[in-house]
Structure 1
Amino acid sequence: MTMQKPLILASLLLALPLAAGTLQASPYHGDGHLLGTPEDLEWGPVGSMGEGAEIAIIEGDLAEEVPFTFRLRLADGYEIKPHVHPAYERVTVLSGTLHFAHGETFDPEATKTLPVGGFAIMAPGDAMFGYAEGETIIQLHGTGPWGIEYVDPADDPRQ
Structure 2
Amino acid sequence: MTPQFELRHYAAAAVLAFSAPLSWAQASHHMMGDPDKLNWGAVPSLPKGAQLVVIEGPMNEAVPFTVRLKFPANYRIPPHWHPAVERVTVLSGTFNMGTGDSFDSSKTQALNPGGIAIMPAQSRHFAWTASETVVQLHGTGPWGVTYVNPADDPRTK
TM > 0.5 fold call: yes
Work out the CA distance in 2 between the residues paired with 1:129 and 1:49.
Answer: 11
Equivalence for 1:23: 19
> What pairs up with 1:52-71 in 2 under 5 angstroms?
52-71=49-68
Work out the CA distance in 2 between the residues paired with 1:93 and 1:45.
Answer: 19
| Change in 2 beyond 3 A, CA 1:74/1:153 | same
Work out the CA distance in 2 between the residues paired with 1:27 and 1:124.
Answer: 25
Percent identical: 44
Shift of 1:58: 0.6
Is 1:27–1:68's contact at 8 Å kept on the other side of the alignment? no
- What do the CA deviations read for 1:47-103 (whole angstroms, capped 9, x no partner)? 111311000111111111111000000000110110000111000000010000111
Equivalence for 1:72: 69
| SS of alignment partner, residue 131 of structure 2 | strand
> What pairs up with 1:1-159 in 2 under 5 angstroms?
7-15=2-10, 17-18=13-14, 20=16, 22-23=18-19, 25=22, 26-29=25-28, 31=29, 33-159=30-156
Work out the CA distance in 2 between the residues paired with 1:27 and 1:67.
Answer: 11
RMSD over aligned Cα atoms: 1.9
User: How many equivalent pairs are there?
Assistant: 152
TM-score when normalising by structure 1? 0.87
Shift of 1:133: 2.0
TM-score when normalising by structure 2? 0.88
Work out the CA distance in 2 between the residues paired with 1:65 and 1:23.
Answer: 21
> Letter of the aligned partner of 2:19 in structure 1?
L
Shift of 1:39: 1.1
Shift of 1:40: 1.6
